[in-house]
Structures are given as C-alpha cells and as structure tokens.
Chains A and B, each alone.
Chain A
Amino acid sequence: MSTLHAPAPAGEAPAVKPATFAQALNTALADALAADDGVVVFGEDVGTLGGVFRITDGLTQRFGRTRCFDTPLAESGIAGMAVGMAMNRMRPVIEMQFDAFAYPAFEQVASHIAKMHNRTRGAVRLPIVIRIPYAGGIGGVEHHCDSSEAYYAHTPGLKVFTPATVEDAYLMLREAIDSDDPVVFFEPKKLYWSKAPVDLAELKDRYENRSPERREGRAVVARAGEDATLLAYGPSVPTALAAAATAAAEGRSLEVVDLRSLVPFDDETVAASVRRTGRVVVVAEAPGFASVAAEIVARVQERCFHSLAAPVRRVTGFDIPYPAPKLEKHYLPSVDRILDAVDDLQWED
C-alpha cells in the first residue's frame, strides 16, 4: 500500500486521495456541462464508450445524448459543425481522437475557427475547445504520437494550452471552455495516468467560487533554481523536472518553467527567469525545425540577449517522422540529453 492510501493518523487532516490527470479532465468536463447548458461535448467514440482514453467517461450517461454524443467518423465535420453550433450560442468541446487524426479538420480550424472573429470584426465569437491527445512515450503506432502544436500556435486567432499537472488539467480545461476564443487544448497522452494528491471537488469550488489566478498566458515556475533555466511544456515538463532533480544531486541548481499556455505566450515569466539564471535550455518533444521551441529561443534572445552567458540550447525531437514504438526512446528528449545540453552552456568553472 502506498503511503498516499494509508489512513490518516488520528488528529491529522485526512490525506487527499490522489487523482489522475485523466480524472481531472473528466471532472472538468462534467463540471462545465453542469455549470452551463450551452456546453456540448462531441467527437468519435466519446458517447457510449467514454472516449478511447475514457476522458468523457460517464458524461453521456449523466447528461444525456443531447449534451455528449458520438458523431460520424469525420474530423472536418466535427470541427465544422462546432463552428455552426458556436455561432448559434453553444460552447462545443470537441475531441480529436489522436493528434494526427486532427489533420482532416485543419481547413475548418485554420480558415474558419481561427478567423471568424476577425472576419466579422468581432460580431461572431467562437468559444470552441478542440481537445487533442498528443505526443508520444506510450508506444503508440503510427499517426498516434505527433506533437502538432506548432501548426496551431502558428495560426493567429487560436489559443493553445497544454497542461502538465493534474491541477492544471482541471483548471485549464475549465478556463478553455469558458474562453470566448477558440482554444486548442493539447493533452499529453503519457500524462493521462499520472497522479497527484489533488482534491477535484476543492478545485471545482476554487474555480467556480474563488476566482483563481488565470492560467491563460501565464507560465509557472515548476521548480525554482539559480544556475540555468529549463523551459518546457506538456509531456516534457516531468522530464525537465527529473533532470533538475538529478542536477541538484550533482550540485547544479536548475529552474524549470512550465509554459502551459503557448498562445498567448508568457514572455514576462520566461524573461524574468532567464535574466536571473543567464542560461537556458528549451525542452520539447516536437521536431525542432520551425517549432514552438525555435520560437521560444528567438523570443529569449530578442529580450534577454545581454543577460545570456551562453547561447540558448534546445533539446527536441529529431526532424523525422515520429518513430515506431521500439525506436521512440531514441527520439524523445531524455534526462541525459537535457543534462548534456546544460553542461554545454559555457560554464566558467
């Protein structure tokens, strides 16, 4: 039995039961459906089955087929129908079953979802959330492990969120659903089963009644440090934290910034950290060429050039199609690669 499951000793506050990342997302959807009649959830297999990752588990049973329902197998149809429903006063939350299966919807996303507010000079708002399970590390077969965030982050009019913790999974999904702008919500698949001692009922109360600090456009320092900054998001955050823990044991203090909102981007938090440490490694799973990681490097050097003691380094995926399961370990950013990159930051000692 893990200590987290041990009964609390008499006289102490009971330990919070751990919740998984997937449970946090599921609860956020349920709470949003309960809070607002306009919220509808749809996609492939999200109804009776509860989603291939069970993120929509129980929603159809609890809220009925008018609130959470299966669609025909057609991603452009799902995204395009969401546009019309959002135009007609609803808040669709749509699921793309896997990252690479979202590509058929790209025209609807890039040409309409991203542009409608602009084309109508603000008359039409499209409060749509496009949930995309993304990235690798789960031994997935082809087309199931892409990190496709750059396509969306590059498209003006879309917001792009990617939580890395159980708490952020809940709060950021609620925020995305309540946003009047379309949000592409990237869920790191390999974190679905990660756990943390988070009280989801308390989060609901915090979100609905105690106006918590917004996550949109706000990065967070996930681990404070002094010698160098690791900038990471989504599935790379736990890897960066593991690297920082190892570095600490070796006497080097690394700060980890979890970017979590790629659009809008939090230049302030990033720049503050970089100016303090003077050394930076950007960690991301997507291929590095023309990537979000590349954009971050450019922004850091534009803003913090004089604070930098070394060129900014990147640890990203290679510029290759995502590998087959037996080879993915060679592709993914690892603790060793991150520590090697840190070692390269022109230390004087």
Chain B
Amino acid sequence: MSQTVETPEDPILRASQTFGITPEQYMLPARGEIRMVDPSGRLLAPEEQGTGPGHEYPLPARDVLLDAYEKLVVGRRVNDQNSALVRQGRMAVYPSSHGQEACQVAAALCLEEGDWLFPTYRDTVAVMTKGVDPLQVMAIFRGEWHGGYDPYEHCVGIQSTPLTTQLLHAVGVAHAAKLRGEDTVVLAMCGDGATSEGDFHEALNFAAVFKLPVVFFVQNNGYAISVPLSQQSAAPSLAHKAVGYGMAGERVDGNDLVALLATLRRAVDLARSESEPLLVEAHTYRMQAHTNADDATRYRDDAEVQEWIAKDPVTRMRAYLGAEGVLDEAAEQRIAAAAEDVASALRDGMNADVEIDPLELFRHVYTEQTPQLAEQEQFLAAELAREETGQ
C-alpha cells in the first residue's frame, strides 16, 4: 500500500520529519557542544564529535579549511597589530577578539555573496573577513567618524555598540528580502552578556514568528566586560534558549574552526532552505581585556587565562592542518607573509593623518539640510575661517 506523506508547512515539523526525529529533538541542541578537532589538533572520531541524529556535520573540504586558516592567521595578526596601535596612541580604542578569531572567521565564511552580516564592536575580524577594507573598519576606533564603511558594499551592517539592537536590524533585512521572494540569509552576532538585553528576546521571537532566515550567533566568551555569565543568566546553556522561541539551537566549540565552519554552514543552509531562524552558541574566550581601558586582572585569574591559551584556535588549526598534510612549510610562510602585508598596510594607514572636513558634521544628519543646520554650519565655517586667519 502506497502512502503519501504530506510535507508539513512548519519548518520545524518538516525538519523533524526529514531527520526522523521529534520536533523537540530537532530544536534542542545536541547533547554536548559540537567539536571536531581537539585542542591538540587531533581530528575526533565521529562518535566523539558530540553530534546526533538531525545534528550531523560533515567535515569541510580541505581547500575551505586552508582558506579559513589563512583568514584566521590574518585575523590574529590584525587583532595584535591594532592593540599595538592603541598602545602607540594611533587609535582611540580597540576591542580585541584575540582568542575568538575562529568564531570571527567562520561567521563571515559561512555566508554566500549577498548574505548579510550584523556585527558588534568586537567583530572587526568578521567584518574584514567578509571583505571590508580593514582601514575602513578601523575608522570608528580611530575616532574619525562613527562608522567607516558603506554597509551595502559587502552587505555588512555597521558595528553596533548598543547591545543586541543590531539583531533586530538583521531580522528586518531578512524580512524585507523574504517579502520580495529573495533567499538572503542574515547572520547576527552578539555576546553572552548581550543575551540579557530585551532586544535579544524580541529579535529571536520576531524571527521565529515571521519564519525568517536569520542565524543568531552568540559568542559566549564568559564575560560581559567584568561580569561572568553566571551573574548574567542562570541558564546552564544559552543555545537551549532557542527552543523557547520555537527555533533550533546548537552549541559548538568556539575555538575549533573546523566545527564552527561545519556548524554555521549547516545553520546557514537550513535557514535558507527552510526559511527559519537558528541559534548557535560558541564557547570561546576573550584572551585580552575588554578594551585597552579595562583591567582584566580585577575580575579573572591568570590560571583561567592560561587554561585557554592551551585551547588557542590558531595553534589548534595549525597542528590539525599540518598533521593532515594540508598545510606545509611553504603555505605557512605564504600565509604569514600575507598577514604581515595586511598589518603593514594597517600601520601605514593609521600612521597617515586623515583630514576630515569639520563641516561634514552637518552634511549627513538629514538627506536634505534643514535651514537650522545650514545656519549652524555657517557659524562653524566662520569660526574655522577666523582660526585660520588667526583673528
């Protein structure tokens, strides 16, 4: 007897049917975090990876991994170069993602051309991995303007300083695309502390209610400046919050670039094919202070930091790719040189003085200048003219 199984309209029901599991099993994260390469660089056997039915992640291709490793090394170099530039007084502030570069790189590489990324202030490496010129990214930290790049050029929202407000912008971009019948996926980033904000809740709920292809990517680095996650939330897992919104969640080792690429890639594919949001939580660590103005020794022990040095995403990926024969000495040298080139271009750019016309302050407040702002611009122009002539 032939039987027609109706395909349910609800993406969660459809997915659970596809994978032969219950909707709850689909929405709830796999039992542990997804990890494919351990801190020593050893590829784990499939049964050790934390996966399960409906939560399976194929190993990314070798060329994908090598390309991602290059971005990882460049990202690390940019983080350290920028921290140095801050110490030298060339930049006002830099929130470094040193230690979190695997998350940064994977967040950008899992997206296709035309997909959008909505980053936070700490996601500079993700922004440049998506294609934005590092010098333009740095304009904000150099204090030139409150944003340095055109969001439309590489489909990257401006780096958001208020927490989680950008998640709703991601929802809106996805909603507009969906209404027009486009299959754009949007990846929205935030940290563990930000999950306390109201907009985190509103964004996840809106995305689920309107069935929008948004991947919410939480980099859980354990601290919101100084406050540990235990004081932020009593939930033992952030990824499990997904089920409360009717979406699927997953946890991943945030220092394992291989697992991140696999997990986020699948989340993006599911978001696109099913038009549904997903929540991915990555466990990682901010190796440096919140910014140069912060003193991390006031709230965390050196022993804890040392523990995370052993889990470093760059050394782990280097060991893994070396052992697999994907990365040889020549490739390592080429990648190191590429990272040096980016760092040197950054240094040169930051050491060059940029002239900003103070009158530009009045130019982008409204699309058409108001009479009041025209008056104020004239006032400043006259003041500048007097300064110039020394009167």
Residues in chain A near residue B151, CB distance under 8 A: 87, 120, 123-124
Binds B, one of A43-51, A69-77, A235-243: A69-77
CA distance A112 to B171 in the complex (A): 15
Whether, in the assembled complex, B385 has its beta carbon less than 8 Å from a beta carbon of chain A, the answer is no
Q: What is the size category of the interface that chain B forms with chain A?
A: 35 or more
The residue of chain B having its C-beta at the shortest distance from the C-beta of A112 within the complex is: B165
Residues in chain A near residue B372, CB distance under 8 A: 264-265, 267
CA distance A267 to B172 in the complex (A): 37
Checking A72, A89, A104 against B198 with a beta-carbon cut-off of 8 angstroms, the contacting residue is A104
Would you give the shortest CB distance from A270 to chain B, in whole angstroms?
A: 12
Residues in chain B near residue A311, CB distance under 8 A: none
Are the C-beta atoms of A107 and B146 separated by less than 8 Å? no
CA distance A191 to B169 in the complex (A): 34
Whether, in the assembled complex, A212 has its beta carbon less than 8 Å from a beta carbon of chain B, the answer is no
Interface residues of A in 110-152 (CB under 8 A from B): 111-112, 115-125
Are the C-beta atoms of A121 and B364 separated by less than 8 Å? yes
Checking A66, A83, A157 against B168 with a beta-carbon cut-off of 8 angstroms, the contacting residue is A83
Whether, in the assembled complex, B292 has its beta carbon less than 8 Å from a beta carbon of chain A, the answer is no
Residue among B145, B176, B179, B360 with the most chain A CB within 10 A? Answer: B176
Q: What DSSP secondary structure best describes chain A's contact surface?
A: mixed
Would you give the shortest CB distance from B143 to chain A, in whole angstroms?
A: 13
CA distance A267 to B370 in the complex (A): 11
Binds A, one of B35-43, B201-209, B283-291, B293-301: B201-209
Residues in chain B near residue A115, CB distance under 8 A: 146
Are the C-beta atoms of A87 and B206 separated by less than 8 Å? no
Residues in chain A near residue B171, CB distance under 8 A: 77, 80-81, 84
The residue of chain A having its C-beta at the shortest distance from the C-beta of B176 within the complex is: A88
Checking A72, A86, A88, A118 against B205 with a beta-carbon cut-off of 8 angstroms, the contacting residue is A72
Are the C-beta atoms of B366 and A157 separated by less than 8 Å? yes
Residues in chain A near residue B177, CB distance under 8 A: 88
Residues in chain A near residue B205, CB distance under 8 A: 72, 74, 77
The residue of chain B having its C-beta at the shortest distance from the C-beta of A116 within the complex is: B158
Whether, in the assembled complex, A159 has its beta carbon less than 8 Å from a beta carbon of chain B, the answer is yes
Residue among A180, A217, A264 with the most chain B CB within 10 A? Answer: A264
Would you give the shortest CB distance from A93 to chain B, in whole angstroms?
A: 14
The residue of chain B having its C-beta at the shortest distance from the C-beta of A42 within the complex is: B175
Would you give the shortest CB distance from B16 to chain A, in whole angstroms?
A: 24
Whether, in the assembled complex, B271 has its beta carbon less than 8 Å from a beta carbon of chain A, the answer is no
Whether, in the assembled complex, A90 has its beta carbon less than 8 Å from a beta carbon of chain B, the answer is yes
Are the C-beta atoms of A108 and B165 separated by less than 8 Å? yes
Are the C-beta atoms of A40 and B179 separated by less than 8 Å? yes
Checking A77, A121, A180 against B203 with a beta-carbon cut-off of 8 angstroms, the contacting residue is A77
The residue of chain A having its C-beta at the shortest distance from the C-beta of B150 within the complex is: A123
Interface residues of A in 61-105 (CB under 8 A from B): 66, 71-72, 74, 76-77, 79-90, 92, 104
Are the C-beta atoms of A107 and B162 separated by less than 8 Å? yes
Q: A90-B176, A267-B371 given as contacts; is B364 within 8 A of A83 (CB)? A: no
The residue of chain B having its C-beta at the shortest distance from the C-beta of A71 within the complex is: B206
CA distance A157 to B373 in the complex (A): 11
CA distance A265 to B162 in the complex (A): 30
Whether, in the assembled complex, A325 has its beta carbon less than 8 Å from a beta carbon of chain B, the answer is no
Whether, in the assembled complex, B52 has its beta carbon less than 8 Å from a beta carbon of chain A, the answer is no
Q: A115-B146, A119-B158, A120-B151 given as contacts; is B179 within 8 A of A84 (CB)? A: no
CA distance A1 to B366 in the complex (A): 49
Residue among B145, B158, B205 with the most chain A CB within 10 A? Answer: B158
Are the C-beta atoms of B158 and A80 separated by less than 8 Å? no
Are the C-beta atoms of A108 and B168 separated by less than 8 Å? yes
> 1/0 per position for B340-358, CB-CB distance to A under 8 A?
0000000000000000000
Residues in chain B near residue A181, CB distance under 8 A: 366-368
Are the C-beta atoms of B172 and A83 separated by less than 8 Å? yes
Whether, in the assembled complex, B91 has its beta carbon less than 8 Å from a beta carbon of chain A, the answer is no
Would you give the shortest CB distance from A67 to chain B, in whole angstroms?
A: 8
Would you give the shortest CB distance from A127 to chain B, in whole angstroms?
A: 9
Are the C-beta atoms of B371 and A85 separated by less than 8 Å? no
Are the C-beta atoms of B367 and A264 separated by less than 8 Å? no
Checking A71, A76, A264 against B199 with a beta-carbon cut-off of 8 angstroms, the contacting residue is A76
The residue of chain A having its C-beta at the shortest distance from the C-beta of B205 within the complex is: A72
CA distance A77 to B164 in the complex (A): 11
Q: A76-B199, A121-B147 given as contacts; is B172 within 8 A of A82 (CB)? A: yes
The residue of chain B having its C-beta at the shortest distance from the C-beta of A179 within the complex is: B367
Residue among B209, B364, B365 with the most chain A CB within 10 A? Answer: B364
CA distance A264 to B376 in the complex (A): 14
Residues in chain B near residue A83, CB distance under 8 A: 168-169, 172
Residues in chain A near residue B31, CB distance under 8 A: none
CA distance A118 to B364 in the complex (A): 5
Whether, in the assembled complex, B75 has its beta carbon less than 8 Å from a beta carbon of chain A, the answer is no
Checking A77, A85, A112 against B176 with a beta-carbon cut-off of 8 angstroms, the contacting residue is A85
Whether, in the assembled complex, B170 has its beta carbon less than 8 Å from a beta carbon of chain A, the answer is yes
The residue of chain B having its C-beta at the shortest distance from the C-beta of A77 within the complex is: B202
Are the C-beta atoms of A88 and B173 separated by less than 8 Å? yes
CA distance A115 to B208 in the complex (A): 28
Residue among A84, A92, A179 with the most chain B CB within 10 A? Answer: A84
Would you give the shortest CB distance from B135 to chain A, in whole angstroms?
A: 15
6 A-B residue pairs with Cβ-Cβ distance under 8 Å, sorted by A, are A84-B171, A85-B175, A111-B162, A117-B365, A120-B147, A120-B364
Chain A interface residues (CB < 8 Å from chain B): 40, 66, 71-72, 74, 76-77, 79-90, 92, 104, 107-108, 111-112, 115-125, 156-157, 159, 179-181, 217, 263-265, 267-268
Chain B interface residues (CB < 8 Å from chain A): 145-147, 150-152, 157-158, 162, 165, 167-177, 179, 198-199, 202-203, 205-206, 209, 360, 363-368, 370-372
Other A-B contacts than A84-B171, A124-B151, A267-B372, 20 sampled, CB-CB below 8 A, are A40-B179, A66-B179, A72-B209, A77-B203, A79-B168, A80-B169, A80-B172, A83-B172, A85-B176, A88-B173, A88-B176, A88-B177, A111-B162, A117-B364, A118-B365, A119-B158, A120-B150, A124-B158, A264-B370, A268-B371
